[in-house]
């Protein structure tokens, strides 16, 4: 910020020094350039070129610097011996419009004019640039591989624990932020009980979020829950505080501020904040990060207990796949912003077969295998129960009509998806 002020002051001193050296020999056009136009142009170039905050305070200080430099210049200019001649030579009168330089160059009205001229130029140009930046970000959000989502559609039932898997940049956090209304979708909707959270007043009252959670060091654990209830909950939720803090094993630490907590304890407090208002749906982004094995075990146990008691639906995004396998009963695989697959875990028992084309459950296959096979959301991928006799017979029948691209154990399927295989 100070660099910006220094360069603006330096540029104004330079411009007005040229005017002082040129003296009254300059033309009217040159005077207008030096006194008014060049300072505005350079002020805006510096303001936009140097990164930093752009706000009204910056514009006021910048305009003040320019006005002060103009004041010094004008005092000098009107004191020169040739000033009267300069005035007489630089008057343009067209009958309806009169342009002239007069002795009021340094009076208060002129100084206010210079200040406002610079301020409005800075403000309007920065406003225009800001609007253009916003449009570019929107386009990037729509089209960038890293941030966009395309045709993602799924339904989560009460009691389900759904794992959101995919590589970095696949779109998992973007999806969660869309559900949290932190960003607005280009199109589409998010429904809970057939009601849109985007158009319904207080549409997120049934959600609990743990996305880049922030804790306040001046509030203890107990006060965190009270504060959150005061913002988002009901009076009856205050009676949940003790139960929830005991559930996350923080009741004995309820009077302790989080700056004295370990990372795992902070994670559990963030989870308690999510749970205290009895949400119907929990959205958790990387809840296992930084936890030791005991912390992971406690968190998994807490979530499982909560789902059993409250029949809550949970969506969890994590790169720690073994933890997801320990808790999830369903997975959504996202890649490059698209929902590639939606499949159940069923304790990872089974075999995944990928075919060269979409599988058709004809009467022959239905009669022999309907109780043993399931078509996944990727229609060319089928899931088979682990019965060796059934699997061998099915493979014999499949190769009559299809080319088999891969056969993989479902126990390793999540890891294979995460690594980008089988796409």
Same-domain check for residues 175 and 290? yes
In a domain, 26, yes or no: yes
3-state DSSP assignment of residue 237: helix
Instruction: Find out whether 422 and 406 touch, Cβ atoms under 8 Å.
Output: yes
Rounded Cα–Cα distance for residues 21 and 11 (Å): 15
Instruction: Give the pair of three-digit tokens for residue 365.
Output: 């296959």
In a domain, 319, yes or no: yes
Same-domain check for residues 196 and 327? yes
Instruction: Find out whether 306 and 240 touch, Cβ atoms under 8 Å.
Output: no
Task: Single out the residue in 301, 335, 369 at which a domain terminates.
Answer: 335
Q: Give the per-residue pLDDT at 140.
A: 34
Task: Single out the residue in 335, 369, 385 at which a domain terminates.
Answer: 335
Catalogue the long-range contacts made by 293-302 (C-beta closer than 8 Å, 24 or more residues apart).
294/264, 295/264, 295/267, 295/268, 296/320, 296/323, 298/248, 298/249, 298/264, 298/268, 299/267, 299/268, 299/271, 300/326, 300/327, 302/247, 302/248, 302/268, 302/271
Same-domain check for residues 220 and 166? yes
Same-domain check for residues 330 and 355? no
3-state DSSP assignment of residue 156: coil
Q: Give the per-residue pLDDT at 399.
A: 87
Tokens 């979020």 correspond to: 209
Same-domain check for residues 321 and 375? no
Same-domain check for residues 265 and 240? yes
In a domain, 190, yes or no: yes
Same-domain check for residues 42 and 119? yes
Domain of 28 in residue numbering reads as 2-143
Q: Give the per-residue pLDDT at 131.
A: 36
Q: What is the side-by-side order of every strand in the sheet holding 373-375?
A: 373-375, 381-384, 351-355, 404-409
First to last CA, the chain: 49
DSSP assignment letter at 106: G
Same-domain check for residues 307 and 375? no
In a domain, 153, yes or no: no
Instruction: Give the pair of three-digit tokens for residue 349.
Output: 């028992």
Instruction: Give the pair of three-digit tokens for residue 245.
Output: 């803090």
In a domain, 156, yes or no: no
DSSP for 292-311, please give it: -HHHHHHHHHHHHHHHHHH-
Q: Give the per-residue pLDDT at 368.
A: 82
- Residues in a beta bridge with 282: 208, 314
Same-domain check for residues 134 and 179? no
Instruction: Find out whether 349 and 410 touch, Cβ atoms under 8 Å.
Output: yes
Count up the domains in the chain and report the number.
3
In a domain, 11, yes or no: yes
Tens of pLDDT along 269-300? 988 888 888 888 888 888 887 777 887 888 88
In a domain, 412, yes or no: yes
Instruction: Find out whether 275 and 247 touch, Cβ atoms under 8 Å.
Output: yes
Same-domain check for residues 118 and 267? no
Same-domain check for residues 205 and 111? no
Q: Give the per-residue pLDDT at 223.
A: 92
Task: Single out the residue in 283, 303, 335 at which a domain terminates.
Answer: 335
Domain containing 231 — which CATH number?
3.40.50.300
Characterize the bridge pairing of strands 338-344 and 351-355: unpaired
Q: Give the per-residue pLDDT at 180.
A: 82
In a domain, 152, yes or no: no
pTM beyond 0.75, yes or no? no
Question: Which parts of the chain have pLDDT scores under 50?
Answer: 93-99, 130-147, 421-423
For residue 187, CA distances in Å to 148, 157, 173, 184, 338 come to 12, 23, 17, 9, 14
Same-domain check for residues 290 and 204? yes
Q: Give the per-residue pLDDT at 253.
A: 92
Instruction: Find out whether 73 and 19 touch, Cβ atoms under 8 Å.
Output: yes
Tens of pLDDT along 45-102? 887 776 555 567 788 888 889 889 888 888 888 777 777 777 666 665 444 444 455 5
Instruction: Find out whether 181 and 226 touch, Cβ atoms under 8 Å.
Output: no
């Amino acid at each position: 910020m100070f660099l910006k002020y220094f360069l603006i002051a330096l540029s104004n001193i330079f411009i007005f020094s040229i005017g002082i050296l040129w003296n009254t020999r300059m033309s009217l056009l040159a005077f207008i350039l030096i006194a008014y136009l060049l300072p505005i142009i350079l002020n805006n170039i510096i303001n936009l070129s140097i990164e930093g905050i752009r706000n009204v305070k910056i514009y006021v200080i910048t305009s003040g610097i320019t006005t002060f430099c103009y004041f010094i210049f004008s005092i000098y200019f009107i004191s020169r011996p040739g000033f009267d001649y300069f005035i007489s030579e630089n008057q343009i009168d067209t009958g309806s419009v009169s342009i002239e330089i007069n002795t009021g160059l340094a009076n208060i009205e002129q100084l206010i004019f210079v200040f406002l001229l610079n301020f409005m130029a800075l403000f309007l140009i920065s406003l225009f640039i800001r609007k253009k930046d916003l449009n570019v970000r929107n386009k990037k959000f729509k089209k960038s591989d890293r941030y966009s989502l395309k045709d993602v559609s799924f339904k989560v039932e009460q009691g389900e624990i759904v794992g959101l898997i995919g590589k970095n940049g696949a779109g998992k956090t973007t999806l969660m932020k869309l559900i949290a209304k932190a960003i607005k979708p280009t199109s589409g909707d998010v429904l809970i009980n057939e009601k849109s959270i985007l158009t319904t007043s207080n549409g997120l009252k049934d959600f609990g979020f743990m996305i880049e959670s922030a804790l306040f060091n001046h509030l203890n654990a107990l006060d965190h829950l009270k504060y959150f209830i005061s913002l988002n909950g009901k009076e009856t939720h205050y009676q949940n505080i003790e139960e929830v803090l005991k559930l996350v094993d923080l009741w004995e630490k309820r009077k302790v501020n989080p700056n004295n907590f370990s990372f795992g304890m902070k994670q559990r407090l963030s989870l308690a904040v999510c749970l205290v208002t009895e949400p119907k749906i929990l959205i958790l982004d990387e809840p296992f990060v930084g936890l030791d094995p005991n912390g992971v075990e406690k968190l998994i146990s807490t979530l499982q207990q909560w789902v059993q008691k409250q029949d809550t639906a949970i969506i969890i995004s994590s790169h720690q796949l073994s933890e997801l396998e320990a808790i999830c009963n369903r997975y959504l695989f996202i890649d490059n912003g698209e929902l590639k697959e939606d499949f159940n875990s069923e304790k990872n028992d089974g075999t995944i077969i990928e075919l060269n084309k979409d599988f058709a459950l004809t009467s022959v296959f239905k009669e022999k295998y309907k109780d043993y096979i399931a078509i996944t959301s990727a229609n060319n991928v089928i899931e088979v129960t682990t019965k060796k006799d059934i699997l061998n017979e099915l493979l014999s029948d499949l190769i009559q009509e299809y080319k088999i691209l891969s056969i993989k154990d479902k126990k390793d399927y999540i890891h294979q998806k995460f690594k980008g295989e089988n796409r």
